[in-house]
Amino acid sequence: MPHARAALLTAGALLLTACSATDASDTADTPKAAVTLKNCGHTVRVDSPPKRAVSLNQGTTEIMLSLGLADRMVGTATWTDPVLKGLEKANAKVTRLADNAPSYERVLETEPDFVAASFVSTLGKGGVATREQFEKLGVPTYVSPSDCAGKDNSGDGDGARKQALGIDAIYGEVRDLAAVFGVEDRGEKLIASLKQRMAKATSGLDASDVTLLYWFANSDSPYMAGCCGAPGIITRALGAKNVFDDTHEEWPQINWETVADRDPDVLVIGDLTRKSQTAESAAKKIAFLESDPVTRNMDAVRHKRYVLLSGQAMNPTVRTVEGVEKVAAALREFGLAK
């Protein structure tokens, strides 16, 4: 599965770094009221701001770090990319429990008082543990709303979207986590910076005649983006068209003959550092595209119209904004955007 998904533009990194700084206004040692959230079909009650939080996916980890919460975290897991630029020092303070999914026992060893994940599957059957297992121990859990709102996760794959995901779901996650930790002001500052970057990246852009294809991983049976997940946010923000917007599956596996037949103008390629699938890095993906007899004559391949994104930018995370920035900049560079 492609779940766990180069570098952020310098200006964007500076904005996120600024948002991760500690604000005097929200560090006073004053009591915080309990927070209750409706989250992916669960009621989550946090009686006081967590002091021993664990994040089981890189997406939630980077939000917490961007909110300046490294000192309240005791573990992270499931990484596809280097940490977001500007957060390296904060991330170094937090124990990495595993590069991929840790065992339930490993998580419990940290004595967590809050556990967060980016995907329903991480805290579901077959994942690290179910939400109920943690909650029976008095440990509240949280799942990114972007992975459950308007989405059916009941199948064997990465789920299917009943409705298109919007960027507001990502902002909502930032707001939720900021509320849980009692740092609401930091959350609003982070959201404001993300909105500003979105507006700047898309200002005056018209890509209505451009077709895109998003390839996350695997050269044997490639995972391509359907209409309505994080790549859909990028595509709609640019006014472009995803050549596979006729499927609501999150990451359907599509054969290369069908890909070549759709012949997109631009290939948006996941540049991953994990090693769980074939052709994880962008270099290996491009080498495949330029040598395979089915793909080497595609228009985007012949003209080398590639946009490289981190895995996290292709998932619903704060880095989806990075995806908008990088694809928008590439379309302008290719002379495809008006």
Which residue is it, tokens 């308007």?
150
Q: Let me know whether 185 and 38 are in one domain.
A: yes
Q: 198, 224, 250 — which closes off a domain?
A: 198
CB 277 within 8 A of CB 2: yes
Q: How far apart are CA 321 and CA 315, in angstroms?
A: 10
What are the structure tokens assigned to 50, written together?
């967590």
**Looking at the domain assignment, is residue 177 inside a domain?**
yes
Q: How far apart are CA 114 and CA 44, in angstroms?
A: 10
Separation of CA 194 from chain center: 14
**Looking at the domain assignment, is residue 26 inside a domain?**
no
Q: How far apart are CA 273 and CA 276, in angstroms?
A: 9
Q: Let me know whether 178 and 241 are in one domain.
A: no
Q: Let me know whether 74 and 170 are in one domain.
A: yes
Pick the closest to residue 141 from 168, 103, 114 (CA basis): 114
Where are the extended beta strands (E) located within the chain? 35-39, 42-46, 53-55, 73-77, 96-98, 114-117, 141-143, 151-152, 160-161, 211-217, 223-224, 241-242, 266-270, 306-309
Q: Let me know whether 255 and 194 are in one domain.
A: no
Q: Let me know whether 159 and 220 are in one domain.
A: no
Separation of CA 336 from chain center: 26
CB 324 within 8 A of CB 236: no
- What type of residue is 139? V
What are the structure tokens assigned to 43, written together?
């009621």
Q: Let me know whether 248 and 300 are in one domain.
A: yes
Q: How far apart are CA 264 and CA 213, in angstroms?
A: 6
Pick the closest to residue 66 from 53, 83, 48, 49 (CA basis): 83
Looking at residue 155, its pLDDT comes to: 81
Q: How far apart are CA 56 and CA 97, in angstroms?
A: 9
φ/ψ (deg, to 5) at 75: 180, 145
Q: 179, 198, 217 — which closes off a domain?
A: 198
- Domain of 278, CATH number, reads 3.40.50.1980
Q: Let me know whether 97 and 162 are in one domain.
A: yes
Q: Let me know whether 163 and 224 are in one domain.
A: no
Q: Let me know whether 163 and 227 are in one domain.
A: no
Q: How far apart are CA 235 and CA 247, in angstroms?
A: 14
CB 252 within 8 A of CB 157: yes
Q: How far apart are CA 18 and CA 81, in angstroms?
A: 21
The one-digit pLDDT tens for each residue of the chain (338 residues) are 454 333 333 334 333 443 443 343 444 444 467 999 999 999 999 999 999 999 999 999 999 999 999 999 999 999 999 999 999 999 999 999 999 999 999 999 999 999 999 999 999 999 999 999 999 999 999 999 999 989 999 887 899 999 999 999 999 999 999 999 999 999 999 999 999 999 999 999 999 999 999 999 999 999 999 999 999 999 999 999 999 999 999 999 999 999 999 999 999 999 998 887 889 999 999 999 999 999 999 999 999 999 999 999 999 999 999 999 999 999 999 999 87
Q: How far apart are CA 15 and CA 173, in angstroms?
A: 18
Domains identified in the chain, total number: 2
Residue 174 CB: number of other CB atoms within 10 A?
A: 22
Q: Which domain holds residue 181?
A: 16-21+31-198
